Structures are given as C-alpha cells and as structure tokens.
Structure 1
Amino acid sequence: MVHTPSPSKRSQNSVSPSFQSGKNENAVPTNLITYKGRRIPARIDPDASILRVVEIMAKSFGAPEHHITLALRDENDNLVTQTNIGAKVSSKETLKLVAAPVTEALAVVASLHAANDKPGEAGDPIVLPNNAEVLPPKLALFNLQKYIKEDDFAVEFMLKGGVKLLVDMLEKEGTGALTGNSLAYALQGIRGVMDYDNGWGDLSDAFIDRVIVVLASSSAPNVVRPATVIVRKLMVASPKAHSSGKGKSKAREGDSVNQYGFDRVFTRIVDVGHMVPDDHGGSPAEAVFRPIVKRLEGTRDLELVAQSLALINAALRSAQQEGSKRYSDLITVIEALGTRKYVARLIPSSQNNPVETRIFDFQTRYANVLRYHSLRPVKPQNNPTHERYLDDVWQTGRLDSEDGGGHRASPRPSMQDYQSSGQRTWDGWRRMGLSIDYVEASDPLNETELFRSIGELGLECLHYYAVHEDNFHSVVLEQLARPADRRCPIGKASAECVKVLYDHYKISQSAQRGASHFQPFMLNFPRLHSLVLKFFLRMWQDSESRLDDFERLSYLVRSQVRQTLADEHSKTWLDLEHDFLGADYRNIREGQMEMIDKEDGLLERPAVAALRAKVGHEAYEVMAEQRVICMQQGGWFNTAHVLKSGIDVTTRANPTRPHRFVRLSPNRRQLGWSEYTVRPKEKPAFEQLREKIDLANISEVRVQTGCAVGSRSPDTVSKNSFSIMASPELSLLDLDAIHAAQFAEWVDGLRVLKQEVPMSTQESANYMHILTELALKVRLLDITGDGIEIPQKVTFGTAPKSTDFWFAS
C-alpha cells in the first residue's frame, strides 16, 4: 500500500534510499511527501484508500495531529482525493501533508469570530484541532477564497456559521470596512458559497447594498470581478428563474436561494444609486449601470468584459422571465447608456474568446426587447415618450398642411423650424401614408390604431427615420406632388420595413431560440430600418410603382434584405449602404430568382412540385426535338473497332476508311451512313449515303463498346464509343463520337426515336436540369414577384346544388 523508510534510517531533511515494506525493502518510491519542512520518499499504491495513505504518512512523520485532521495536497495546493490519487502517483508529483479542508474551515471561522469580536455567537464555540491556530483576518480570508470550492471546506464553513460572519464583515462601513485584497478575498468567498443551495439566507439587503456600491465605485479588477458575479447570481435567483435545474444550481420553492431575483435586486440598485459617484446627472439606476457598461470598453481584461456583459444579460433575462413591471425601466437605462454601441464594438475582436457567447446572449436579449416593444401599444396620452415621438414626426414632416406651411425646408433645419400651430389630425397622418380605411376625418384622433400591427417599435423606427433623414419634409412633399395612385405611403412603407426585418431576424421566436452568429446590424435596428426604408422609397420611384404594386415591391425589399444580410457579420455599414442605396432596380429584380431557392419550404410545396413536373416535361420535349434535329443534320464519326466481347459486327472496321458519316432521314424512320477515306467539303445528303438502317430493326444502343481506328491506345475502350444493336449479340453500326456533346446528342437522340425515357447521358441530364430550374424560376418569379401566395395545399369546395347562381363581377 504505502512503503516508507524505517525510522532508524530516516533523517529530518534527507531522502533515504531504503524502505521498510515488510517484504520488499528496495521498493522504488513513487512520490516525495513533505511535512513542515521534512521530506520522506514513499511508494504509494494508486488503488489504496486515501484515508489510509494519510494515516500512514501521519505516523511516518510522527505528526502530533490526529490523522483525520490532515490531508494531502500537491504543490499547487490541489487536494488529493480518491479520484485523482492515481494520476498523482503516476506523474510522481511531490505531495505535502497539511491540514484537512474541515480543519482549515474551522480555523477560518474561528478567525472570523475573533475579527468580529464575537467569540460566543453563531452557535457552539469553535473547537480547533491540536496545533491549529487562529489566523490573522487577511490570511483567513485568503484561505477562504482559496479553499471555498472544495465541498468539505464549504460545508463545514456554512455549518459553523461562517457565512453570517463573512456577511457581517462585508456590511461594515467606515474605519472597520474591508478594503483592497481583503475585500476581494471576502467577495470571492461569497461567490464560492453561492455555488451551493445553502448559505443564501444570510445575504441581507444591507449586504446587497454594500456589494452594489462596491461594484459601481471600485476600479480594482480583483474586487469588481467577484462583485459582478455575486450581483448576477442574485439577479437570476428567483422562484420563477430557478423552478427547475440540476446539481448545485437546483433550487426548490421555499429555499433561501429563491428569495432574490430581479425585482429585489433592482429595487436595491435604485435605492443605493445615489451613493455612487456620478457626474452625468442620470437616474440612480444609470449611476450603477454606467460603470458596468463602460467596462465593456476594456478589451484587455476579457474576463471582466465577459462578466460585465453577463450581468447585463442576466438582468434583461430575469426581468423578462419574471414578468417584472420594471422591465421597461431597465430597458430605458440600458438604452440611455448606449450599451448596444459598446457591444457592437466588441464584435470584431471577440471571435473564439470568452466574450463571444456573451455577445450571442446579448443579441438574444435585444431581440426580446424588440419583441417587447412591438407588442406594446402606442399610447401618447399615457406615455410622454410616445407623445414626444409623435410630435417630432408631425413637426419634422410639417403634416398640418399640404403645402408644408408655405416655406421651403432648409437642407438640415433645426427643430425650431418645424413648429406648427395646428393639432395632429387624421388628414395630416394620411399625407405621409398613415391611415385607417374605416376612419372618417371628423372622428376623434386615436393614434394607437396607426401603429397597432407593430406597436411602439414601429413608432420608434419611424421617429428615427424622420429626425435623421436630411430632409424628411421634402420626402413627404415629393410624394404629395405625385398623382394619388403613384404616391408611396411613407408610414405604411415604414411599418412594412419593420415587419421585413422582424421576420428576417425571427424576432417572434427570440424567446425559444438563441443567436449562433454575430448580428451587428440588428444591434442598431432603427438605423437599419432607416436604410431599408430609403431602399423601399427608391425602388418605388425607380419601378414607377402604383398603390396596387405595394405587395410586389414589399417582396422585392424582402428578397434584398435576405440577400444582403445573409452574411452580415462580414460586412460594414459602408457595404450595407452600397447594397441598399447603390444597387440598380433591374439587377435587384433579377436577383430575386436566386432567392426563390432559399424560400422556406417553397420548392417543396405540392403546387410547386406539380409546376416543376410540368416544366420538366416541357424541357424534355425541347431537348428531344433538339437531339433529333442534330441527327437530321448528320455528323462525322470515327470508325470504331469493337473491343467488348460477345458482340458480333455486321460491318468490320476498315482502317483505310477511318471516317463514317451518319444522317437521320427526313421522315425519321431510317439512318443512312457511309465510310470515307477523306472527309468531303460538303456533308453528304441522305440519298448519297449507301448504307441504310431501319429504326425498327434497332433493339438498343450500347455505349462504350470499342475504340477509334488508328487510336494511340488500341486496347482501351473509348468513353465516346457506342454500337447500334440489332440484338444483344449483333451490332449494326459501331461509332466513336468526336466529343462528349456529339455522343450525348446521338445516344439520347436514338433513345428518343425509340421512345425510351429518360435520356441516359449526364450531359443531357445537366441540360434538362438547367432548363427545368430556369423555367420554374421564371414562372415563380411571375407569381411571387406580384405578391401572390402559393398555397401549401389546394382544396376544392363542394359543388353547387343547382344552377341557380351567378358569378360576381
């Protein structure tokens, strides 16, 4: 099991070569064991019990402690357990005999008692093992963060009330407050405790306040990292967020771990935000989140960047999952701090590092935010932001009169230039394409109805376009100057562009699916919408569209969006502007054909499958006629030797006449052919050919049967050779085509004349595929380009019971 030197041969600082093993005193040592400056070589059985190994080593060293209070660690202070002892022995690592995790935990708890001046509190008095000492507070905290990940240490620490003592130390302020490395060690200890279900009950509101203040005000990375993780874990620790799980993270109703969550933590953030230094004059929540967001700029410390972004993600996720009423407040804070801008800047340098998955998660969180905005109705009477957005759009477009107030807009006017004297009306919104068919001009204005299909997301995107477009008023006037049926409804087009992007990013499914690649343009959704809307208006003008063409043009925009954003992670905004603002209408229209293949399930629908079969038959008819026409024009071949066994030839190859000319008769019933020594200048007419073969006598066409007369490889079968067979054993004519195209024309042409389907050569199959796909796409382009929906399944109603009916006009 374990062999160690006999006491008589052992000195305090030497490694003895002899061993007392009972049977083998010359056993080779596997490991060097140290204890308080002394060393002993030992041979350890890798299958031995770790408790027995520790017991023997304690006796070998004559340790005064009981062996149950000791343990083995490697030079990196990793605990030797039953699981890893085999690896430690095989790698011959130096091990040290030290205090066991339980002993270390008792020493730490006793030290925290002494530091808090509460030796008699937190349950029974702490009884330390022999020779165990109370440690200085800083060293105790160092050992705490060092060993808290070990189960034995953590369990004993929590059972002896260590968490309550640690929380009390962290809650102290003023002269007794922890600072520097001591504060970092204490926070690391709390971070380790939170990996377990127990111990959370001692985390009071005062403790949470202290951690939040430290998180927002400290600049030391070793302090900020654990504080960030603690707040993140508190954010997600709610009954709704932890209703299921496994292992350490599993929590049940009634457990202390369930008593936190977003609402409680965000309330603490708002309450203590005034304690955080902030020169920007924002809300208390902004004061706390501002330094967290700013840390996204520090790309040198990727771990801190990843943890900061993980905290933001956790807040957004927990607020949504809990259905918190303060979810909108959090979104306002995140948007006010420009978080999306910082995340977008991280993307180019975040591939294959810890930040990458956090960015993917943030993209999912932002998609959920967009979905939340799309479901919230526009209520200007209750929401000051909605009222301001609507008023900005109204003033910027000067919608109170058709002539825009009688004065021209400056290239980049200020908001003061947009002041109008009139109230918002239905007629004014209709001038920019926001209207409801069933509403009369005299009806009370209800602007909620204008954005019912896209909610406040549609209003936000329209507002962004209106205030960022160089001359939004001129865009409105340009449409008003056109005939009524040729005006592009700007408001309707804006809503349609929102829906196109909404569908492209599958935002409605954001709660069920996560992002798997970078989507930098989605992170600036309003700007992307503005670009797509400009593209829509330009296509409307270039195509000279009418109101009836709106759906067709919407499909065109949808196709361009899908094609342009297919690989957005590899593009810049300049690339995007070129694709949307620099592309020609005709080229975009042609590009729709390529997008048809990518339509989800379109080509698999029964109606399209039937259309494919129809155009495939038409393509076959075209190819068949082409093959027969080629045969009627005639062709020159090489005279061929038959190399395949089992074939008798009617006419043997004559080396002095290496050329054969073959032509199909005008009535398509006979083949005429002759042999020539030299090709004549003109192709022989059918009547000039001496030999005739009735097609009725041809049984099959067998390919790759021989080689050309005079070939450099007379024993190698040519790929372009074929024989016209009268029976399985008798050949009527043996030919070697000049090239593969001629081979396909004649072999498949003969199959067509024999009414054998399908054509057999690969070249004909490729042509058939090209013709079929091209015809199919042209037909589909005529349908989908006009916005006609192709049904998944066509159903037929019941027949009328009588003839007493008429068709509506």
Structure 2
Amino acid sequence: MATTSAPFSIERRHILHPNNNPPAPPPKDPMPSSTAPIPSHPPPTYTYSLPQPPDTTAPTMDQSSIPSLLARLASDEDASRKMAVFKLQSSINDPSFADVFIASGGLIILRRLIMTTGGNTLAYALQSLSRLLEVDMGWDVFEGNAAGDLVERVVELVVRGQLVNILRGAMGVLVALVSHGQNGEGEGGRPGHGMLYGFRALKPAVAVYPQFFEHVIAQLQSADHALCSNALMLVNALIRDAVASSDGKTGGGEEWSKFIKRLQDLGLIKAVYNLMQSSALQDLAHPLLEFQGLTKVLLRKWREVKVDLERPEHRRALKGLHLASAPDRYLATAALASPVMKVQEEEAAGKKGSKRHNPEKWRRLGFETESPAQEFDQAGFLGMMDLTDYVRKNEDGFQKLLLEQSSLPLDERCPVARASLAVTMILYEHFEVDQAMENEDARGYRVLDAETPNDRLFRPLLLQWSRLHTAGLHAFFRMWKATGAEREDFEKVYELVRILIEQVVGQAGRTKDVLEVEDDLQEYDLVRLRELQMGLLELSFEDQWGPHLYQIREELKQEALQFVKEQRIRCLLQGSWFPKPQSSHNRQESQPQSSKRRLYQPWRFAKLSHNRRYLHYADFPTQLDHDPGLDVLPEKVDLSTISSVVSNVSAPNGESPERSETASISTSTSTTLNHASPNPNSSKSAKPTTKITIYSYADPASQPDSQPNGEAKEEPILTLYPENHSLASEWLDGLLMLLNQAPITAETNKLVSMVSEYGMKIRLLNVRVDAVYNGPKEGDGKVPSREGLDEDYWYEV
C-alpha cells in the first residue's frame, strides 16, 4: 500500500497557490496509510473556516486547470497525487469538465491510479471513476484488452477487504458497470467495441475470486450505511441483470434461478430482512425498496415457469414428494385397514417382475387427480417450490399427517397439496406480486422524499415467504379440523385462511418479528375470525347490494320482532311467581269481586290464559313446588280494560334501554327508569325494588272522586314484583306486545337485534360468489302457445 510522504497542510501550500482560491481540505483518513509524524507548525488559518468536503454537485475547478491537474495526477509524489485526485472527485461529475478531462487523456492516468495506488489515493480515484460513470461518461476505460484487468482489480479490492472508503468506491464502480448493461447500451448497443457489461463483465474476475459474492453480502451487515447501500445496490443490479438476461430464453431460464439460489444460500434474505427492520431505513430506503420490488419480480417469474415433467428438475421434485410421503408405510397401513387392499397387494406380489402401483399415488398427497403436473397451472413452479420446501423441512410431520388423513373417510381428508397451492396463491395476491415494480417504485420514491419514510411501503415479511407459507398451511390444517370441513367445503376454508392472512400479516408493522406473526397465525381465535368474515361479507354486500340489504334487514327485523313477541307471550302463558312485599302504607288493590281486606300472603302467581284475553293470578302463603293451573287462580284481569302499564325496570350493568319514552296508541304505556336493580335472591326480609303496575279506567258513575268533566280516572288493578331483571323484561314487554305496543327494555331489544343479525348472516352465508343474476333460464317468461286448444276447459275448486 502506498504511503503519504507529507501531510496535507504542507501539500496544500504547493498546489493551491496558482489559483489563489483555497479549497476545502481533504477529509482525515479513517485509517491513516502513513505513519509520518504530524508537523508541529499549525496549518493555515483558512483550514478551520472552510466547510466540510465540498458539494460534489458543484465543481470547484475550471477547465483551464485540467493540464496542471493531470500533471499532478501523473506525479511520482504520493502527496501530490492524493491532493489532485481528491480535487478531481469533486469536479468530475460536471459533464463539461469531464469531457475535457477525457479528451486530455485523463482516463489513462485515472486507470493507472486505480491499478497501482492504495490508501486514500485509491479511494479518491475509485470515487472519481464512479462519479464519472454516473454521468454516463468514461466507459472507454472498459474497452480493449486491459478492461478485464481493471475489472479484476476492482473485484480484488472487494474481496481483499480494504478500507471502508475503498470498498465504497469499488462497489460504486461495479454498480455502474453492471447496471449499464440494463439501459440499452452494453454489448448490443455499441457494436465493434468489444465491450461487456452486466454480470458478463464480472464473470472472468469472479472466476478468479469465487468468494466475491460472499464478501458483497457480508458488507450488508456493515455499520457504514453508505457502504451497506452500495453493496445492496450491487446485489440489486446483479439480480436485475440475471433476470433480464434470461428473458426470451427457453427452458424457463435455469441460470438465473441457480444464481438467485446461490445468493440466498449465502444469507442474502436474512441480511436484507434485518436491514428492512432496522433503524437505518432512512439511509437505505431506495435500495431496500428496489430489492423488495425485485423480490416480487422473482416470485412472478417463478410462477410463470410451467411445471413440465419433461424437465429433469421438475420430475425430480415430484419424485421427492412421493418418496418423502413414505409410500411403503402407507401401503402397509392401508392393507391392514382394508381387506380388499390386502388382497390386491398379495396378488401384485405374486406376479413376478410386477411393481406395486398405488391407485391413489398422488390423490393421497392431496392432489385432485393422478396427473399432478396440470394442477400447478395456476401457481406454476412457485407452487411446487413452496410445497417441496414445506415437505423437506417438515418431513416427519408430513408423513404423520398423511397417515392420520388415511384413517378418515375420503370426503373428510384435508387435501394437503391442494391446500399448499391455495396458500401460495393467497400470499401471492396478498403481497400484490403482479403489481408493476416501476409504478411501485415511483409511488415509493415520492413518499420517500419526505424526511421520514412511510413504514407501510416496506414489507419485510415478503422476504419470509417460505415461513409464511408454512405457517399459513398449518393454519389451514387447523381450521379444516376445527370446522369439521369436508372436501366440498374447501373454498370456505380457503376464504377463512385468506382473511386470516390479511388480518395478521396485513396488519403487522414493519418491525414485527416473523416469530410473532407465526404465533398469531396459529393462535388466532376462530370465533373472532368468523366474526371478521361476516363483517367483511356485510361490507362487501353493502357496497354492491345496499338497497336490497336494507330491505332485507327491515324484513328480518319485523320477523325477529314477531319471534321475540311470541317468546315473551309464551313466558306469560307459562306463568311466574312474584314475591309480595309487606308494607303498612300499601294501598288496598281494587277488586271487583270482593271489597274485604285479605290476610297478607307473600307470594303471587300470575299466568296468561290460553286464549290470551285474561291475566289470571292468585296469592299464596308459600311458593308451591308446581305451578298452579288456571282453575286455582280465581282473580283475573281482562286485557281489554288495561289502560297503561307502568314499571321502574332498569337496565342491568348501567346500560340504558333503547326506548324510554311513553308509548301511546290505543292504550298508554309509560316506564320510569331508576338506578335500582332487583336482587335475584329476594325473600320476605328483602323488599323487591322492581315492580310492574297495571292500570285500568274506573267507572266515572261509581267513583265519587271522579274528575269534574266526567272522564274516567286510572287506578291500579294489579302490581307484580319481579325477582330479577330478565323476569321483569319478559313480563313488561310481554304485556306491552299483547297490547300491540313496542318493547321498551334493553334486553328485549338486544334479543330482537341478535335474532335479526343472525338471520342476515345466515342469508349471507348462503350467497355464493358466483351467484350472480345471468338472466332468466331458457323458456322462462314465455307465453305458452294455445295451438290445439279449445274453450272446453274448467277450473276445479
């Protein structure tokens, strides 16, 4: 490695005086390449007043200084070269300056510096070349026989693990070199020059240094964000070039697939996944978003590869699935379970040279037919990759699952292979893999212009495709078993799994670990999932069939109201016991049959007559073991004489009833809502706090205190004290419904809503996705012909 012979402060005084315009000093080396002592004299005062290294977008040197700059670059003095190339990197990205620099032979000198120097001089030279290539100039440096040596030198610098600033520059040069072949230039764009771009230009050098890719991916874990960004951009360029070079080739492009697998085996996915979840997102946003888009391109490309049994790797994959399923163990178990299978096995074994053939070789794995290749039409080779990867990593569980399924009837077996392909397509649609990467990048770049990147743009879980597929497949098995599904219910389970992945994976934040997502997929409550499914179904149908659903809801509400009315009235028909509190201030109830004061009896039994016209009741000293019949209930109230029903029924747990106003149609009904709540275990010593009072109009002629205008006055004819809120709700709303009034308690209204909602859900579940109106059936709506008919007909009544 070259060393500096003099510090920067001395070198500046020799090379900056010609222009009398002192520039910014070069930055201090992270790891100095020289051990020369620092002089004791202080540097010039302008050194501390100038800003940090100059802005690279504005050149600090004019074209007239290029001859002297080239002379210093070609100098044998390392300090002079270092300062000159430092100034060059801040000016070379000006096209006018770069054009004069190239015309003056600067590329030859810059190439010589890269090939022979080290330390910061080499770092500045690499940075200069990288910035020159960024403005699409200087590509002639890769022409001729010596181009391979330059590429090999840059690859060597990456492999040797040089200083961080050297690695940054080397990565930048390689990024420009690989990406240049993707812009329509390259070998096909400039004939006659013998220039290679893309990964083809790196192949000879990588053959010399086969550990190149390992070192590139290792830099993704670097603490230097700029180096990490350059390394990721190089990986993106290599992947893009590999995919682009395979387009138009037959056979599905085996080379690109092998190359991607090689990068994945080196830990690429894990490294990028960690970066996407790290706090360095702001500095790495653009290359990370590009890698995410390239991942979608790869998934789409794998799906487009058709499964073909003529291709050896596809045939080997299917054979591996068959062998991993332990077919011999399955045949032995099936023979023991089925006498017919046992006879077939013995007959097959008795034939010399015959091979046992299981008629369910592929169907027992979950395929629908014995030709599995055609079942990969939708998921393509991506579906086969997911299935084989699951079987390879869970071989024991796969075999146990097949043995467990073999003991079930055919219709109740979970089709493992079909479920795997279904989960693949669920993930494919969830991550919007078919979305154009260019549009996604453009939208992402607009958002990334802000100070804080939008976390929702980054989907690190996309990089955990294999683990998500396995977790989703296990969730499919769990739901199949929990719901008791059969073969015809496959689409319903598929829809549940789709909603589950949308809920768990879709709602997961950028920093949520994949382990938590896997646990959520396995532990998500099935009841909650069904509620979510019904909510989504309702929203979906609401958008499309809003007016129709509104009409159905109204119909179902009326049906539910009639259902609850009948239930409440049946409670009255059954009868109930009510305690009677003893009070000296209790007024004597008006009794038409007798006006004598009765002895206190603590229990009252009330019951509605079968014709629903009278309410019978009687008082008892004790609560009987059995409910008395109507024949032992002498007192009765004619429902047609009831004027109003008043109650202080309150809602439980502080809830407010949906209706609290006074209802008045043919009879008036009022309710007073108090905060008192009845005690279910009330006894003689505990006075009930809830009561229902039935009023009737008194005869004005027989009442001396009647109103002056002759109107009848209301008086209580029956008071009931329910022991709990449910009993009070049943009797109060039951009486109101008998009088054609609307229910007023929260419990009854909640029951009405629940019944109507269940009715709506049942109707929605009966609607299939393909149940659209396709017009009348053939023959419907046509008037039949009367040809051959006469008037000799009659109606049979």
Question: Under a length normalisation based on structure 2, what TM-score does the superposition of the two structures give?
Answer: 0.60
Query: Aligned residue for 2:553?
Result: 615
How far apart are the structure 2 equivalents of 1:407 and 1:311?
A: 58
Amino acid at match of 1:288: F
SS at match of 1:685: strand
Partner residue in 2 for 1:187: 126
> Could you tell me how far apart the structure 2 residues matched to 1:348 and 1:540 are?
34
Matched, 1:389 2:317: yes
Tell me the CA shift for residue 423 of structure 1: 9.3
Is the counterpart of residue 467 in structure 1 residue 387 in structure 2?
Answer: no
Spell out, residue by residue over 1:521-560, the C-alpha distance to the aligned partner (whole angstroms, 9 max, x if none): 3312122212221221222222222111111111121122
Distance change in 2, residues 1:383/1:70 (3 Å): farther
- Separation of aligned partners in 2, 1:233 and 1:540: 52
Query: Distance in 1 between the 2:434 and 2:399 partners?
Result: 33
Superposed CA offset, 1:240-294 (max 9, x none):
568xxxxxxxx9x9689x998xx83212322221322xxxxxxx4xx32111111
Distance 1:670 1:497, change over 3 A: same
Instruction: Pick one of 504, 525, 537 that aligns with 1:564.
Output: 504
Query: In the TM superposition, what is the alpha-carbon distance from 1:224 to its structure 2 partner?
Result: 1.0
- Give the aligned partner of residue 340 of structure 1: 269
Deviation at 1:509, TM superposition (A): 1.9
Structure 1 residue 323 displacement after superposition = 5.0
Q: Which residue number corresponds to residue 582 of structure 1?
A: 523
1:329–1:259 Cα change, 3 Å: farther
Cα offset for 1:376? 0.9
1:312 aligns with 2:238: no
Distance (Å, rounded) in 1 between the aligned partners of 2:561 and 2:64: 89
Which of 421, 424, 428 matches 1:495?
421
Question: Deviations along 1:661-682, whole A, 9 cap, x unmatched?
Answer: 99645xx23658999xxx9976
Measure, in 2, the Cα distance between the counterparts of 1:137 and 1:508. 52
Equivalent in the alignment of 1:782: 765
Quick one: distance in 2 between partners of 1:199 and 1:361? 26
How far the C-alpha of 1:339 sits from its partner, in A, is 0.9
Q: 1:450 to 1:594 in 2, by over 3 A?
A: closer
Residue 87 of structure 2 corresponds to which residue in structure 1? Answer: 143
In the TM superposition, what are the counterparts of 1:714-733 in structure 2 within 5 Å? Answer: none
The CA distance in 2 between the partners of 1:671 and 1:358, in whole Å, is: 75
- What is the identity, as a one-letter code, of the residue corresponding to 1:236? S
Question: Residues 117-196 of structure 1 correspond to what in structure 2 (within 5 A)?
Answer: 136-150=80-94, 153-170=97-114, 172=115, 177-196=116-135
Instruction: Tell me: CA distance 1:467–1:688, structure 2 relative to 1, closer, same or farther (3 Å).
Output: farther
Whether 1:683 and 2:683 are equivalent positions in the alignment is no
Q: CA deviation at 1:391?
A: 3.0
Map Cα deviations across residues 482-506 of structure 1 (whole Å, 9 max, x no partner). 1112111111111111111112212
The answer (yes or no) to whether the contact 2:468–2:518 under 8 Å persists in 1 is: no
Amino acid paired to 2:506: A
Residue 111 and residue 145 in structure 1: after superposition, are their counterparts in 2 closer, same or farther (change >3 A)?
same
1:273 aligns with 2:210: no
Q: What does residue 414 of structure 1 align with?
A: none
Alignment partner, residue 513 of structure 1:
440
2:218 is matched with 294
Partner Cα separation in structure 1 for residue 554 and residue 72 of structure 2: 86
1:223 correspondence with 2:184: no
Amino acid at match of 2:239: L
Q: CA deviation at 1:311?
A: 1.8
Percent identity (aligned)? 21
Instruction: Measure the CA separation in 1 of the matches of 2:399 and 2:240.
Output: 40
Residue 610 of structure 1 deviates from its aligned partner by 2.0
Q: Which amino acid aligns with 1:295?
A: Q
- Partners of 2:515 and 2:671 lie apart in 1 by 67
Q: CA distance change for structure 1 residues 158 and 317 in 2, over 3 Å: closer, same or farther?
A: same
Residues of 1 paired with 2:770 and 2:751: CA distance? 25
Cα pair 2:366 2:417 within 8 Å, conserved: yes
Aligned-pair distance for 1:184? Answer: 0.9
Contact 1:367/1:507 (<8 A) preserved: yes
Q: Provide Cα deviations, 1:666-720, integer angstroms capped at 9, x if missing partner.
A: xx23658999xxx99763615269999xxxxxxxxxxxxxxxxxxxxxxxxxxxx
Residue 449 in structure 1 maps to residue 374 in structure 2: yes
* TM norm structure 1: 0.59
Q: 1:179 to 1:501 in 2, by over 3 A?
A: same
* One-letter code aligned to 2:283: P
Aligned ranges for residues 200-215 of structure 1 at < 5 Å?
Answer: 200-204=139-143, 205-206=147-148, 207-215=150-158
CA change 1:327–1:796 in 2 (3 A) is: farther
Q: For the Cα contact (< 8 Å) 2:560–2:755, is it kept in 1?
A: no
Contact 2:556 2:759 in 1 (8 A): no
Report deviation, 1:182.
1.9
Native 8 Å contact 1:497 1:529 kept in 2:
yes
Q: Equivalents in 1 of 2:399, 2:212: separation in Å?
A: 40
For structure 1, the residue ranges without an aligned partner over 5 or more in a row are 1-35, 38-62, 78-92, 117-133, 243-250, 277-283, 409-420, 440-445, 638-660, 693-748, 756-762, 805-809
2:365 is the alignment partner of 1:432? yes
CA distance, structure 1, for counterparts of residue 474 and residue 135 of structure 2: 54
Corresponding residue for residue 527 of structure 1: 467
Following superposition of structure 1 onto structure 2, how do residues 361-400 of structure 1 map, counting pairs within 5 Å?
361-384=290-313, 386-399=314-327
Match of 1:669 in 2: 666
SS in 1 for 2:367: coil
Change (3 A) 1:214 1:555: same
Q: Distance in 2 between matches of 1:474 and 1:672?
A: 67
Match of 1:736 in 2: none
Distance of 1:75 and 1:464 partners within structure 2:
56
Distance in 2, Cα, partners of 1:294 & 1:396? 35
Say if 2:199 and 2:241, in contact at 8 Å, map to a contact too: no
The answer to whether residue 253 in structure 2 is matched with residue 328 in structure 1 is no
What letter is aligned with 1:200? W
Residues 606-664 of structure 1: CA deviation (Å, up to 9, x unaligned): 3355224421564488789999x9x9644789xxxxxxxxxxxxxxxxxxxxxxx9964
Counterpart selection for 2:530 from 580, 588, 592 = 592
Residues 382 and 156 of structure 1, relative CA distance in 2, 3 Å threshold: same
Give the Cα separation in 2 of the matches to 1:215 and 1:180.
Answer: 14
Distance 2:671 2:493 in 1: 62
- The structure-2 alpha-carbon separation of the partners of 1:214 and 1:402, relative to structure 1 and needing over 3 Å to count, comes to same
> In the alignment, which residue of structure 2 is the partner of 1:101?
62
Per the alignment, residue 52 of structure 1 pairs with none
Cα distance, 1:342 vs structure 2: 1.7
Q: Distance in 2 between matches of 1:769 and 1:234?
A: 72
Q: Does structure 2 conserve the Cα–Cα contact (< 8 Å) formed by 1:376 and 1:455? A: yes
Q: Given residue 390 of structure 1, which amino acid in structure 2 is its aligned partner?
A: L
Distance in 1 (alpha carbons) for counterparts of 2:357 and 2:162? 50
Count of residues in Structure 1 that have an aligned counterpart in Structure 2 = 567
AA aligned to 1:202 is V
Deviations, residues 593-612 of structure 1 (Å, cap 9, x unaligned) = 32454579824543355224
Give the match for residue 71 of structure 2. Answer: 110
Report the CA distance shift for 1:466/1:590 in structure 2 as closer, same or farther (over 3 A): same
The CA distance in 1 between the partners of 2:175 and 2:474, in whole Å, is 41
Match for 2:666: what amino acid? R
Candidates 544, 553, 572, aligned match of 1:606 = 544
- Paired residue type of 2:430: H
Query: What is the CA RMSD across the aligned residues, in angstroms?
Result: 5.2
Equivalent-residue separation in structure 1 for 2:390 and 2:411 (angstroms): 24
- Tell me how far 1:799 sits from its aligned partner: 5.3
